[in-house]
Chains A and B, each alone.
Chain A
Amino acid sequence: MTPYLDPSLAAASRRGFLGIAAGGLAYAAAPGHAQAEVSTNARIAILGAGAGGIAIANRLVERLDGARITLVDGKTEHWYQPGLTLIAAGLRPGDYARSQNASWLPRGVDWVQEYATEIDPEAQVVRTTGGQRLEYDYLIVSTGLVLDWDAVEGFDLDRVGPETGTGAHYAGPDAAVKTWAAMDAFTDRGGHALFSRPATEMKCAGAPIKYCFLTDDYLRRKGTRDGSHITYAAHSGILFGVPVINEKVVLIMRRQEVEVCHHHVLQSVDMDRKRATFRTQDGTTDIDYDFFNVIPPQRAPQVVRDSGLSWEERWTDQGWIEVDMHTLRHARYPNVFGIGDINGVPKGKTAASVKFHLPVVEDHLVAQIQGREGTLSYNGYTSCPLITRVGRAMLIEFDYQDNLVPSFPGIVAPLEELWISWLMKEVALKATYNAMLRGRA
């Protein structure tokens, strides 16, 4: 059993596991809990019961004896968001992404089923929608991000579906089902498909690209690709933030005959006329579509932005919290940590990154409780199985330095479109995600 000693050990054990079984299983083979329990009566508040919040609650319950752990989240349903892509591709039903938060929570955690409305890091107090006042010694912010649909003028989430030819698979399981209905109807006929991504930071930056390739694949399978046109409107001059991956995506776009236009930031959409308006370097431009998957700007929840935890000089329109990029500890409030999408770090808005945030935050928090220094460091690990068609994907994994950091070096090539990488997304990812939620990965 390997305790959290050092990331290279973790990597070694991951690789060793491949001898037993190929696949995303290796994610789950990262070290488990071997440390002795630590006695404390610290009050720990966790904001948000998503991927990060539930997982850290499970880990801390195991690790700490006597701690009073309170989890704050008004949402009772848990969404396995990586599954939204598969739902929107007609490969899974809507329920695939749904579960009940209660089923993941350990005994010994107090779940306040309300949202946080105020965070005061000076007074160390959180207030909730129900008017509760929670005092804490340590705070873990894991609220994820909010999808700013209002920033896309004219967009109406209720009207997503085949009638408007508009999709929004980021919005949740129901919207993903409607997005599939729209994509399915569109690919039956063919026409002009439009894809874009927001100019803000976003969760799973590969997801817009995957969905573009999936639509291309369905057009080809249904024999409607010839009369169709696909446009990918990128917000900047590149398609993906990691140069080597960007090059590869450019090549695949070219091969699949996807027209790429750069510096297009979605401004508004007319769902009746099926027309999207983008801000470009020289004004605005309209693009008519038959199918358009809308992904809105993404920001920290308002309560976080109002709390004083956000960066003051960076991402000012987005409000990500100011944590150290390696320890994930807040720069100004040492008893505050961030896990997941909310972190103001250069990479890492994926569930796979959450998995690597967890041991780091646990280590530094427990060390602080014990009066010592934590040692673990987050290297920016971000991963996203980039689907290039139904049945194939590239398992891309990278760090802060834009290095590729493959889990299976020499076995699963990161920049190759492989069936094994598809299997990881389609079958192995959810099992390992669930293991992570339970604190076992």
Chain B
Amino acid sequence: MEEFSVGTFLAVFEEMFGPWLFWAMVAVAALITVAYLYVLIRDHGMGMRRFLLAQLSMPIGAVAAVAFVMWITNSRMADIGGPIDWIVLLGVAVLGAGGFSILVYVAQSLIRGKREEDLI
């Protein structure tokens, strides 16, 4: 059943975003993750200044993720009707915040290159 659950889980997301968009998003997420690992290994640690900016960008990611999910599901904030809705929405926001902060961190690291002084 585990194998099956994952299959259905993927099917629901394919349904939600359309197969092309969904797999493109998965590919982008995978790319960013790989790039993140790459800069961590390359720099032997995290850059604190970059990390700070990444953290500051989190709200943007959260809002963007929520707006995107609302748009794709033909919904509005006013449709949030009960506790479970808020929990799901919060989950979306957390994912968006986390994902976007990693993106921002990776982007800075790749653009600026290796900067020893910033590392811990």
Contact = CB atoms under 8 A, between A and B. Distances in A.
Partners in one complex: yes
Contact of A426 (B1, B8, B74, B80): B74
Contacts, number: 91
Interface residues of B, number: 25
B81 A418 contact: yes
B14 interface: yes
A22 B88 contact: yes
A5 B87 CA distance: 33
B8 A20 contact: no
A32 B3 CA distance: 11
Contact of A29 (B5, B76, B84, B85): B5
Given A17-B5, A431-B8, A391 B74 contact: yes
Given A422-B73, A430-B15, A431-B15, A392 B81 contact: yes
B8 A28 contact: yes
A20 B5 contact: yes
Contacts of B11: 431, 434-435
Contacts of B88: 22, 419-420, 423
B111 to A, nearest CB: 36
A375 interface: no
Contacts of A435: 4, 7-8, 11
Contacts of B31: none
B12 interface: yes
Interface in A299-318: none
15 contacts: A1-B1, A17-B5, A21-B9, A21-B12, A22-B84, A22-B87, A25-B12, A32-B4, A419-B75, A419-B85, A423-B88, A428-B15, A431-B12, A431-B14, A432-B8
Interface of A: 1-2, 13, 17, 20-25, 28-29, 31-32, 91, 389-392, 411-413, 416-420, 422-423, 426-428, 430-432, 434-435, 440-441
What are the 3 closest A-B residue pairs judged by CB atoms, nearest first? A391-B79, A431-B11, A28-B8
Given A22-B87, A391-B73, 20 more contacts: A21-B12, A22-B84, A24-B12, A25-B12, A29-B5, A31-B1, A391-B76, A412-B84, A413-B84, A416-B82, A418-B81, A419-B89, A422-B75, A422-B79, A430-B15, A431-B14, A431-B15, A432-B8, A435-B7, A440-B4
